[in-house]
């Protein structure tokens, strides 16, 4: 069992698992933090951005000044933003059989994989994941395509040149593999390869393994996956949440009895409690609006925004904000708000029951109805006519590099009355703000990440480790087989965050210690497969004559031919060596087994030393001496210069060239053993 | 005992001893005992016994019965105890040896009924009641009852065990108290026999080495030293000192909690106190060490900390760590007020320790060892410890703290106030601790205004308060408002505070919370705004007239809450604020008090919440006192005015009060179906009556009046009020518009006619006083078993 790590981002994973002749890609996350190195794409011509000075080397060389611009001491690439793709060289991606998607944030690299690597397999994901994932991709393509940029910078990527650049450009990894955004056509083609699945649905892969999505509680349709064969179980936990928000709660019980747990997508801000952050978000929003300022919330078009709108729905009256307009601007705003309402079966219990009343599960429907929340595809068109200040604007993209948010940053950045509140944890807010400096606007960082924190992980691991005994291990029922759970996780989870080196509570704490991986690393998982299920054909089974060797345990020898096809193993009766004469009378099956005579009988049982010594004495060996050894006993026949070494699983008779004596002794030993 | 009860008593006693009759409701027996207790305290218990021979018969009878119901047996034991508490009754009962058969070892102890804990409880309570005189103590010693009490200390029933231990304390205290005159030494022979027995038993238990016995003995000592501070207890302590001391030296420490309790109950001998105190300090010392406070700063404990037991408990699990720290902090908090008694109360190291705990809890502390690492992991985000630590931090504001530590306290408080992760309950504690520190800071500053350090604190504090007032969590908004109210109450007059407050948005935010969806928050906002307005810190003047401004005046806003809010809390808060404004002479109210009071009472009179109406009456009283002056008796040095001027003034005042419909309100309140309202109204009217006593018209203008003086009840008043109303409605409109529905004469007539004193007496009784009478109790008991005459007919 091997794991290939194609992404270094712990919450945007892309791993490939080789397990029992199948090659399974787990998620397809796209690391978009690379875009922070680029200049924002303004929707409206921005004199400030277009007049930024070009960057010159220390020696005054200006050959890069067309590609690199300087803003408040930071250097940015003036080009279409590019993304850092998952590793494509580590493994031949055309050999990937299936891709399992756990949530809509973890599928953003899908078009790069399915369209450009020779991938011919199937992608599995739940319906909300696909629909909302499509919205996210559509928004991304739209944001980038609607601001065409003539220039595509490539000079700076030259390794020799990159060395000369200031940080963070200097340290950016594998810039040569960075790619521009895909097209809508590629998105559609990629999504067409997805097969929809429901929670707890069992999907057979080539008869070798079965994969099953489970609710992970993080987002609409988000899943963890179980990959299991008859005797092995691998759980893939990615982006899970135990908090009560809008999605169905996490299914923890089905993760029990796992042999390997691949753990990704924990909270990116383990020190911030989401409830506290929501409080912070609301108070800062209220204080800004009261003073006549505007609030800008850079966000994704789906996910936390639903919860924030729900909080605000309850909050605006108490805070006296009933008359403040809320705007949600995204090319997919309308679809996102409506999709949320129709995926009832994927919602938490409370919201599901609302559907039967019938009421919309999310209160944002009421906000829209009462005109408190308005949504627009873009700042152009209706919005510009209806726009009133002070107001609250939700818009993308959280990186602040493209999308309508760029316009609002330029528009409101100069006034200290306004506030930008960062709620999405994916991007460092300081980096996101860098090309807008100097900035008068207030900045509040309230990252809301509902994914598991380390305390929740340790509880989860305890839960998962409480194992039931499996049937094949139940032979010694008094011995509880504690088979260890192997936890595999990104290396970031095995050491405290660099800024809080003393916080040893911010690591995964388990026994045996978690195995960690980093980008472009291959892990051989320490888990050995020990069992395989084999079917016995009925007529062969019928021929077996079990012999009880211990109460409740019977054995039989089998001679058969093993057929293996489609990962299924079948034992069939061996072909008869001599064709029997044609006879209509059916012979007894036992006569058909030809090779039995060739086999020596198998022995079982143990030799009680005292009785054995008595038997020896009865047979005329008078000088028997017994010595205890670490593994058993040695019986010494001093006169005959012979020793019999009796151990748990072997017995040796050592005598000097006296075959007669050896045979005699052997027969005495055999008296104590059962044959079959 | 009244005759009717005496008549019923024999039947009741017969029921009690009749095994065929079963008193199902044992609360009857409890009530019966309560009644006997009051009876024997009020009159001669001996006389009661002699006049009601059925009682003594009852005792005798129960003693003789073999299969007596255990409830009845228990009752009898307690009843005997109640009578035996009086020496003459004791002797009377002793003559018949009934006490001996009830309380000696030959009594119920040897019967199967003793297995029932209620019987043992009855026995011990009976003995407890009896110990009021020397003879009883002597009797108990002689009949072996003391040994029984010793054995009952370990009774499986916790109630019995704890009563037994308290009884020992009581007996010991009583015996020693009555021998007060004799100076005492630790020598055994000086002590009374009974005390010798008890003390000997305690010593033996302390030596026994078994935890339950040690615990019992320690509990007795704890209760004793907690209750009794006479000089003999010091001698007793000298006797106990070596025994307790040797307990402390044992490893592992037996009955540690009981030891701590004992030391908390007494803070005497230095060596032991220090040892006990050190046990309390160990967990904190361990925390300090884990965070490695810079060397040189004084530690909590002089000897290096090597108690692995404490460290092990601290680190074994999250719950035990939190438990131990919370317990330690709570004990220390209890001790702090006594810190002046402790010579070496380590104020500064304790402050450092509690701050370190708070830093650990918020992830700020840098651990210095593996113990620290583990503590850090355990304590981060632990609300329980945060709350206890903040409580203790608040308590430590009472004490001399070096300024660099104060800076640290301010920092850590700001961290907790600011942190989005502080839970509402933690935040509330943080606000409380902040208030205590702020107030203690201002106490130490010599100038009249706030010291620069406090000013600085306030500058950081107000933005936080602003944010908290906008919190989506109502508990947070509520505690922020409470904090604001308290701070304003104390510092409303200080320029530095006023400046900081007014330059923030806090007053406006608080005002907005008057319209909060949560009623508790509205109530707190009302109180806060009332306080701000009193101190002139409110942006809106409260002028009673409505203005042309868009914004309503605060008074109108509060009045609207009073008349329309669906919840009681905000309305109660409003009327309290109004009363306070009137009482302290709020400038805007003083401009037109009459109109203010009229408007408020008009709204209050319709309120459904009796607390609001009572508070409304309080407002009326304040106004009356301000108009008519204090009770004469309350103000002996007041300048006497001539009776003529006084009379004229009174008439004018009465006229005005009538005009304000004040009496309408007070009289209706007298007829109120809620007793507290009627009582309050009655009190006001009695005040008025006293005030108007010299007024000519109240003294009665003719014979007819004198006859009716003070004989009418509220029914009459209701009819009269209705009559007046009808009269008003029948009047021509211009008269009705004038609003003076009553004439002063009408008021005086009421004051004259209604039996206010009698009414006050009736109202003072609880509404179920008839049902609670002993006669009713006896009747009930007979009724349940069908003895009462009127039920006999039903037998057919």
Q: Which two tokens stand for residue B739?
A: 């609003």
Tell me what percent of the residues of chain A surpass a pLDDT of 70.
94
A392 near B CB under 8 A: no
Alpha-carbon span B320 to B378, nearest angstrom: 10
pLDDT score recorded for residue B740: 42
A283 near B CB under 8 A: yes
Work out the minimum CA distance from A316 to partner chain B, whole angstroms: 9
Q: Is the dihedral of CA B87, B93, B94, B95 positive or negative?
A: positive
Rounded mean pLDDT of A267-283?
92
Tell me what percent of the residues of chain A surpass a pLDDT of 90.
59
Interface test with B, best of A459, A505, A506, A509 (most B CBs within 10 A): A505
Whether ipTM tops 0.85, in short, is no
A577 vs A162, residue with greater confidence: A162
Q: Which residues of B touch A282 (CB under 8 A)?
A: 470-472
How far is CA B201 from each of CA A564, B167, B194, B398, rounded to the nearest angstrom? 86, 14, 11, 42
The helix-helix angle for B134-142 and B158-178 (nearest 10°) equals 120
Find, in chain A, the residue whose alpha carbon is nearest to that of B516: A318
pLDDT in tens, B472-531: 999 999 999 999 999 999 998 888 899 999 999 999 999 999 999 999 999 999 999 999
Work out the minimum CA distance from B421 to partner chain A, whole angstroms: 5
Interface test with A, best of B379, B422, B470 (most A CBs within 10 A): B470
Q: By C-alpha distance, which of A304, A307, A301 is closest to A335?
A: A301
| CATH number corresponding to A2-266+453-473+480-524 | 3.60.15.10
Question: CB distance A287–B367 less than 8 Å?
Answer: no
A524 vs B673, residue with greater confidence: A524
Work out the minimum CA distance from A116 to partner chain B, whole angstroms: 46
The band of A17, judged by pLDDT with boundaries at 50, 70 and 90, is very high
Alpha-carbon span A326 to A289, nearest angstrom: 11
Chain A 429-468, CB below 8 Å of chain B: which residues?
A: 446
Alpha-carbon span A218 to B782, nearest angstrom: 69
pLDDT score recorded for residue B749: 78
Please name each of the domains of chain B with its CATH number: 1-143 (1.25.10), 168-268 (no CATH), 271-294+305-402 (no CATH), 553-572+589-630+650-696+713-730+738-754 (no CATH)
Interface test with A, best of B321, B468, B472 (most A CBs within 10 A): B472
Rounded mean pLDDT of A450-471?
80
Work out the minimum CA distance from B678 to partner chain A, whole angstroms: 38
Average pLDDT of the residues of chain A: 89
Find, in chain B, the residue whose alpha carbon is nearest to that of A272: B421
The beta-carbon neighbor of B466 closest among A287, A314, A318 is: A287
Q: Buried b / exposed e across B533-557, counting CB within 10 Å, b at 16+?
A: bbbebbebebbbeeeeeeeebbbbb
3-state secondary structure of B144: coil
Question: CB distance A286–B376 less than 8 Å?
Answer: no
Is the peptide bond between B252 and the residue preceding it cis, with omega within 30 degrees of 0? yes
Residue A111 CB burial class (10 angstroms; 0-12, 13-18, ≥19): buried
Interface test with B, best of A279, A290, A392, A496 (most B CBs within 10 A): A279
CB B521 within 8 A of CB B478: yes
pLDDT score recorded for residue A280: 93
Q: Which residues of A touch B317 (CB under 8 A)?
A: none
Residue A583 CB burial class (10 angstroms; 0-12, 13-18, ≥19): exposed
pLDDT score recorded for residue B233: 81
In this structure, whether the domain defined by A603-675 belongs to CATH 3.40.50 is answered with no
Q: How many interchain CB pairs under 8 A, A with B?
A: 69
3-state secondary structure of B296: coil
Work out the minimum CA distance from A298 to partner chain B, whole angstroms: 20
Question: CB distance B420–A318 less than 8 Å?
Answer: no
Q: Which residues of B touch A457 (CB under 8 A)?
A: none
Alpha-carbon span B127 to B625, nearest angstrom: 54
Domain borders along chain A are 2-266+453-473+480-524, 274-445, 603-675
Helix H or strand E segment including B408: helix B403-418
CATH of A274-445, one of 1.10.150.130, 3.40.50.10890, 3.40.1010.10, 2.30.30.100: 3.40.50.10890
A502 near B CB under 8 A: yes
Q: Which residues of A touch B471 (CB under 8 A)?
A: 279, 282-283
Interface test with B, best of A295, A311, A319 (most B CBs within 10 A): A319
The beta-carbon neighbor of A287 closest among B467, B472, B473 is: B467
Q: By C-alpha distance, which of B685, B642, B644, B691 is closest to B667?
A: B685
Radius of gyration of the CA atoms of chain A, in A: 34
Work out the minimum CA distance from B468 to partner chain A, whole angstroms: 7
Question: CB distance B420–A319 less than 8 Å?
Answer: no
pLDDT score recorded for residue B791: 44
Alpha-carbon span A194 to B603, nearest angstrom: 69
User: 């305290």: which residue's tokens?
Assistant: B41
Interface test with B, best of A283, A417, A449, A500 (most B CBs within 10 A): A283
For the cut 80, the answer to whether the pLDDT of residue A542 exceeds it is: yes
Question: CB distance A272–B363 less than 8 Å?
Answer: no
The beta-carbon neighbor of B516 closest among A287, A314, A318 is: A318
CB A494 within 8 A of CB A508: yes
What lies within 8 Å, CB to CB, of A674 at 6+ separation is A547, A549, A603, A604, A605
The band of A593, judged by pLDDT with boundaries at 50, 70 and 90, is very low
The beta-carbon neighbor of A318 closest among B505, B508, B517 is: B517
pTM across the whole model = 0.74
Q: Which residues of B touch A272 (CB under 8 A)?
A: 420-421
Question: CB distance B420–A446 less than 8 Å?
Answer: yes
Q: Which residues of B touch A503 (CB under 8 A)?
A: 363, 376, 380
Work out the minimum CA distance from A383 to partner chain B, whole angstroms: 29
The beta-carbon neighbor of B377 closest among A279, A314, A505 is: A505
Question: CB distance A279–B473 less than 8 Å?
Answer: yes
Longest dimension (CA), chain B: 96
- Point out which residues pair with A211 in neighbouring strands: A203, A227
For the cut 50, the answer to whether the pLDDT of residue A478 exceeds it is: no
Pairing of strands A486-490, A603-604: unpaired
Work out the minimum CA distance from A514 to partner chain B, whole angstroms: 19
pLDDT in tens, B342-388: 667 888 888 989 999 999 998 888 777 778 888 888 888 899 999 99
The residues of chain B scoring below 50 in pLDDT are: 294-297, 544-548, 633-636, 700-708, 732-740, 789-796
């Amino acid at each position: 069992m091997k794991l290939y790590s194609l992404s270094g981002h712990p919450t945007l994973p892309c791993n490939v698992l080789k397990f029992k002749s199948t090659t399974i890609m787990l998620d397809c996350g796209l690391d978009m933090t690379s875009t922070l190195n680029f200049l924002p794409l303004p929707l409206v011509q921005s004199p400030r951005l277009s007049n930024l000075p070009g960057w010159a080397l220390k020696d005054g060389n200006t050959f890069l000044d067309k590609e690199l611009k300087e803003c408040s001491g930071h250097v940015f690439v003036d080009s279409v933003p590019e993304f850092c793709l998952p590793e494509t060289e580590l493994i031949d991606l055309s050999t990937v059989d299936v891709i399992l998607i756990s949530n809509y944030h973890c599928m953003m690299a899908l078009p790069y994989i399915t369209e450009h690597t020779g991938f011919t397999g199937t992608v599995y994901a739940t319906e909300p994941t696909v629909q909302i994932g499509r919205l996210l991709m559509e928004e991304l393509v739209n944001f980038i395509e609607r601001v065409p940029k003539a220039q595509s910078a490539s000079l700076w990527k030259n390794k020799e040149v990159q060395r000369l650049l200031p940080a963070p450009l200097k340290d950016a990894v594998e810039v040569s593999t960075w790619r521009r955004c895909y097209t809508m056509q590629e998105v559609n083609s990629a999504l067409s390869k997805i097969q929809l699945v429901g929670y707890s649905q069992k999907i057979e892969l080539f008869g070798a393994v079965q994969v099953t999505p489970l609710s992970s509680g993080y987002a609409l349709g988000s899943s963890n996956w179980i990959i299991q064969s008859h005797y092995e179980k691998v759980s893939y936990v990615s982006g899970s949440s135990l908090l009560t928000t809008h999605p169905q709660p996490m299914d923890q019980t089905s993760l029990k009895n796992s042999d390997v747990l691949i753990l990704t997508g924990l909270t990116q801000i383990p020190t911030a409690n989401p409830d506290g952050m929501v409080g912070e978000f609301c108070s800062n929003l209220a204080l800004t609006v009261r003073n006549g300022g505007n609030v800008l919330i850079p966000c994704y078009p789906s996910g936390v925004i639903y919860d924030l709108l729900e909080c605000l729905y309850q909050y605006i009256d108490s805070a006296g904000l009933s008359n403040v307009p809320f705007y949600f601007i995204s090319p997919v705003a309308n679809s996102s708000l409506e999709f949320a309402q129709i995926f009832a079966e994927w919602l938490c219990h409370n919201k599901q029951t609302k559907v039967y009343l019938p009421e919309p599960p999310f209160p944002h429907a009421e906000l829209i109805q009462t005109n408190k929340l308005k949504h627009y595809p873009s700042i152009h068109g209706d919005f510009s006519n209806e726009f009133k200040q002070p107001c609250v604007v939700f818009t993308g993209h959280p990186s602040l590099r493209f999308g309508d948010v760029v316009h609002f940053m330029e528009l409101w950045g100069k006034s200290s009355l306004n506030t930008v509140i960062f709620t999405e944890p994916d991007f460092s807010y300081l980096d996101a703000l860098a090309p807008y400096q100097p900035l008068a606007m207030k900045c509040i960082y309230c990252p809301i990440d509902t994914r598991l924190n380390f305390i929740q992980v340790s509880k989860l691991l305890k839960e998962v480790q409480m194992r039931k005994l499996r049937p094949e291990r139940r032979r010694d029922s008094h011995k509880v087989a504690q088979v260890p759970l192997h936890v595999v996780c990104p290396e970031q989870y095995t050491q405290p965050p660099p800024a809080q080196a003393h916080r040893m509570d911010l690591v995964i704490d388990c026994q045996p210690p978690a195995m960690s991986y980093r980008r472009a690393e291959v892990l051989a998982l320490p888990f050995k497969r020990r069992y395989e299920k084999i079917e016995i054909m009925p007529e062969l089974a019928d021929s077996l004559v079990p012999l009880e060797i211990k109460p409740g345990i019977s054995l039989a020898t089998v001679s058969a031919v093993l057929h293996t096809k489609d990962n299924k193993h079948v034992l069939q009766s061996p072909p008869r060596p001599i064709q029997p004469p044609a006879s209509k009378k059916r012979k007894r099956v036992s006569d058909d087994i030809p090779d039995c005579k060739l086999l020596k009988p198998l022995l079982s049982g143990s030799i009680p030393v005292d009785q054995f010594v008595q038997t020896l004495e009865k047979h005329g060996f008078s000088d028997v001496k017994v010595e205890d050894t670490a593994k058993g006993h040695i019986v010494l026949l001093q006169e005959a210069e012979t020793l019999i070494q009796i151990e748990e699983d072997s017995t040796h008779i050592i005598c000097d060239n006296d075959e007669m004596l050896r045979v005699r002794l052997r027969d005495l030993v055999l008296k104590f053993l059962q044959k079959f | 005992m009244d005759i009717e009860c005496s008549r019923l008593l024999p039947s009741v006693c017969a029921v009690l001893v009749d095994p065929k009759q079963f008193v199902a409701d044992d609360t009857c027996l409890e009530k019966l005992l309560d009644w006997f207790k009051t009876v024997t305290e009020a009159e001669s218990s001996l006389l009661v016994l002699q006049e009601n021979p059925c009682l003594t018969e009852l005792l005798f009878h129960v003693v003789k019965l073999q299969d007596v119901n255990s409830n009845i047996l228990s009752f009898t034991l307690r009843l005997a105890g109640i009578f035996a508490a009086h020496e003459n009754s004791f002797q009377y009962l002793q003559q018949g040896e009934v006490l001996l058969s009830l309380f000696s070892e030959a009594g119920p102890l040897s019967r199967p009924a003793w297995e029932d804990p209620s019987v043992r409880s009855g026995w011990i309570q009976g003995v407890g009641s009896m110990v009021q005189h020397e003879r009883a103590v002597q009797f108990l010693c002689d009949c072996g009852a003391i040994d029984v009490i010793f054995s009952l200390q370990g009774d499986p029933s916790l109630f019995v065990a704890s009563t037994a231990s308290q009884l020992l304390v009581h007996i010991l205290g009583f015996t020693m108290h009555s021998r007060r005159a004799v100076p005492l030494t630790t020598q055994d022979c000086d002590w009374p026999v009974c005390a010798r027995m008890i003390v000997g038993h305690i010593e033996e238990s302390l030596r026994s080495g078994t935890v339950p016995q040690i615990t019992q003995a320690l509990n007795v000592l704890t209760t004793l030293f907690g209750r009794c501070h006479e000089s003999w207890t010091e001698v007793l302590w000298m006797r106990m000192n070596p025994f307790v001391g040797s307990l402390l030296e044992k490893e592992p420490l037996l009955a540690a909690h009981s030891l701590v309790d004992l030391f908390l109950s007494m803070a005497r001998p230095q060596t032991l106190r220090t040892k006990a105190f050190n046990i309390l300090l160990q967990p904190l010392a361990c925390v300090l060490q884990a965070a490695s406070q810079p060397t040189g700063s004084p530690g909590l404990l002089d000897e290096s900390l090597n108690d692995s037991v404490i460290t092990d408990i601290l680190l074994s699990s999250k719950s035990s760590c939190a438990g131990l720290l919370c317990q330690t902090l709570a004990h220390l908090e209890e001790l702090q007020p006594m810190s002046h008694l402790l010579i070496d109360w380590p104020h500064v190291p304790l402050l450092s320790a509690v701050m370190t705990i708070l830093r650990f809890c918020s992830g700020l502390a840098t651990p210095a060892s593996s113990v620290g690492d583990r503590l850090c992991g355990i304590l981060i985000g632990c609300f329980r410890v945060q709350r206890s630590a903040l409580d203790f931090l608040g308590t430590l504001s009472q004490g001399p703290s070096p300024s660099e530590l104060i800076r640290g306290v301010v920092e850590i408080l700001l961290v907790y106030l600011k942190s989005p992760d502080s839970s509402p309950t933690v935040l509330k504690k943080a606000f409380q601790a902040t208030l205590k520190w702020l107030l203690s800071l201002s106490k130490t500053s010599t100038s009249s205004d706030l010291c620069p350090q406090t000013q600085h604190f306030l500058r950081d504090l107000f933005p936080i308060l602003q944010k908290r007032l906008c919190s989506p969590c109502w508990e947070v908004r509520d505690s922020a408002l409470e904090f604001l109210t308290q701070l304003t109450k104390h510092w409303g007059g200080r320029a530095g505070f006023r400046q900081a407050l007014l330059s923030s948005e806090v007053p406006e935010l608080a005002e907005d919370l008057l319209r909060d969806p949560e009623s508790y928050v509205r109530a707190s906002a009302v109180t806060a705004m009332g306080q701000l307005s009193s101190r002139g810190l409110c942006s809106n003047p409260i002028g009673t007239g409505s203005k042309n401004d868009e914004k309503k005046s605060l008074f109108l806003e509060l009045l609207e809450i009073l008349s329309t809010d669906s919840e009681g809390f905000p309305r109660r808060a409003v009327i309290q604020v109004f009363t306070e404004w009137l009482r302290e002479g709020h400038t805007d109210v003083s401009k037109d008090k009459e109109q203010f009071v009229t408007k408020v009472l008009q709204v209050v009179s319709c309120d459904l919440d009796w607390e609001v109406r009572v508070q409304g009456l309080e407002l009326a009283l304040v106004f009356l006192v301000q108009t008519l002056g204090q009770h004469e008796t309350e103000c002996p040095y007041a300048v006497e005015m001539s009776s003529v001027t006084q009379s004229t003034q009174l008439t004018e005042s009465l006229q005005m009060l009538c005009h304000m419909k004040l009496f309408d309100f007070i009289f209706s309140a007298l007829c109120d179906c809620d007793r507290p309202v009627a009582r309050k109204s009655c009190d006001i009217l009695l005040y008025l009556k006293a005030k108007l006593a010299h007024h000519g018209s109240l003294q009665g203008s003719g014979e007819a009046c004198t006859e009716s003086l003070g004989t009418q009840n509220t029914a009459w008043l209701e009819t009269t009020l209705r009559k007046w109303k009808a009269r008003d409605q029948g009047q021509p409109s211009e008269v009705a518009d004038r609003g003076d529905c009553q004439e002063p004469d009408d008021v005086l007539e009421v004051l004259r006619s209604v039996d206010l004193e009698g009414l006050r007496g009736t109202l003072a009784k609880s509404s179920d006083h008839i049902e609670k009478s002993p006669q009713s109790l006896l009747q009930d008991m007979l009724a349940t078993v069908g003895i009462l005459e009127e039920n006999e007919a039903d037998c057919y």
